[in-house]
Amino acid sequence: MKRWCTSFFPWIVCLILLSGCAEKKILEEIGLITTVGYDLEKDNKVKATLVVLQINPEAARNIDVIASKAQTSKGSRLDANLKASKKLQSGQLRVALYNEEISKKGIKPYADTLARDPSISDLIYIGVVEGATEDLLKHDYKNIPDIGQHLFNLIGQLTDREQISNSTLQEVRQSYYSIGIDPVLPLIKRSGNSIIVTGNAIMRNDKMVGKLSPDESFFVKLIRDEYRTGSIELTFPVKDIRGKKHKVTTVIDTIKSSKKVKLVDKTQPRFDIDLDVKGRLLELQGELDLKNPKNIQLLEKAIGLKLKLEAQKVIAYCQERNSDVFGFGETYRSSVRFANLTRKEWHQKYRTMKYGISVDFKLIRTGITE
């Protein structure tokens, strides 16, 4: 008996002490923040708009949108708590949005506070909003019952289909903290009663410096990353086997790509970019006879050329904006020993960087008809 007491006594004490000591978080008593949007106001204060999901069977809508103003992003959450009937918790945060003014000033302080908070996941999406985020989040959409869920699904779906680059908090922070690669963020806009992704915002370190359309963004991912199942629409001229010129528009999907970026010149940075792209022809508008395999070869060449020209345009634009979203600096840093590269140095070099690009395009198949 005595032995039993001495060995189990601590356990029993533990059990009694441990139960119910920590702060309780009962689902019905908390408001789950699913989306936050930050706008920079004229007085330099930050306006936060929170989409709060509440579990309340009696309410007609279980979404509440609260806007509040403060000096900091977390301060505005405190302020928002004053307006909420339930305790606000950020553990279910899925999307964080910033308007263009904040993005131009730099998202680092805001993204870092998100990462500082252990209750926030590293896999939340980060995006830039054209216009005010408050307007985007507060608007009463006809077909969207839950704006937070909608935004999360929208970005998630586009990321999975590889139409936009990954923009989770982890990846964005990884990019702006590394030397030689700049982040890309999805650009989101409200247009009437719907929300659309209008392309990508390109950054220099953590500051937004330009915009790319979805078609242009394709080339960023092509060089920065790799495609496993991408798709794109291209319009270009092609000469068929008889020498007749056609203007065709094609849609290519299930694009698989691999890239090789090599540094050829260290002193005056020069890169060789080799892109190997494979895809399926989904649609072809134009008079081109695909029964002839030689025409397909010509088409492949024309697509390769078109991709190359477009890629050059996008690189030129990003160079002009001085945003290395392609990660050339990573290649430079990893192939030059004792470079001691700094972000500033790289961005100076990047402006005048030279490159040669070659694209090898292959059509895997043309669908089930010819």
Partner 1 sequence: MEVVLKIKSHYLFNAFLIFFVVHATQIGVGVQGFQRIIFQNAHQDAWISVIISGVATNLLVFMIIKTLELYSSTDIYGIHHDLFGLIIGKLLNVSYIFYLIMSFFVVLRNYIEVIQAWIFPELPLWFLSSSMLLLVIYGINSGIRSIVGIAFFSVTLSLWLLIFIAYPMKYANWKQMLPMFEADMISLLKGAYHMTFTVLGYEILYTIYPYVKEKKKVQKFAQLGVVFTTLIYTSLMVVSTVYFSGEQLERTIWATLSLFKVVRLPFIERFEYVAITYWMLIILPNLILYMWSASRGIERIFNIKSKNTIWGISILTIIGIQFFVTRNQVNTLNGVFAKFAFFVVTVYPVILYLFALVKRKLLKKGAS
CB 354 within 8 A of CB 270: yes
Angstrom distance (rounded) from CA 84 to CA 66 = 8
CA 144/CA 139 separation, integer angstroms: 10
Buried b (16+ CB within 10 A) or exposed e, 29-46: ebbbbbbbbbbbeeeeeb
By CB under 8 A, is residue 10 in contact with partner 1?
yes
Q: Which stretch binds partner 1 (CB under 8 A): 60-68, 114-122, 155-163, 357-365?
A: 114-122
Smallest gap from residue 344 Cβ to partner 1 (A):
14
Geometric angle at alpha carbon 152, from 148 and 154, rounded to 5°: 115
Contact with partner 1 (CB under 8 A) among 29, 41, 122, 289: 122
The dihedrals phi and psi of 187, each to the nearest 5 degrees, come to -110, 125
Binding of residue 175 to partner 1 (CB under 8 A): yes
Q: Is 55 in the site for partner 1 (CB under 8 A)?
A: no
11 touches partner 1 (CB under 8 A): yes
Among 1, 18, 27, 368, binds partner 1 (CB under 8 A): 18
Draw the binding track, 209-248, toward partner 1 (x: CB under 8 A; -: no contact): ----------------------------------------
Complex with partner 1: residue 229 or 335, whichever CB lies closer: 335
Looking at residue 325, what DSSP letter applies?
T
* Residue 292 near partner 1 by CB under 8 A: no
Q: Which of 56, 170, 231, 292 binds partner 1 (CB under 8 A)?
A: 170
Size of the site for partner 1 (CB under 8 A): 33
Transcribe 228-265 into DSSP letters: SSEEEEEEEEEE-TTS-EEEEEEEEEEEEEEEEEEEEE
**Residue 173 Cβ, how far from partner 1 at the closest point, in Å?**
6
User: Is residue 106 close enough to count as binding partner 1 by CB under 8 A?
Assistant: no
Check the CA dihedral 146-199-43-71 and report its sign.
positive
Decide whether 213 or 229 has the Cβ nearer to partner 1. Answer: 229
Calculate the dihedral angle through the C-alpha atoms of 258, 260, 261, 265, rounding to the nearest 10 degrees: -160
Interface contacts to partner 1, rule CB under 8 A: 6-7, 10-11, 13-14, 17-18, 21-23, 91, 118, 121-123, 170-171, 173-175, 177-179, 327, 330-331, 333-338
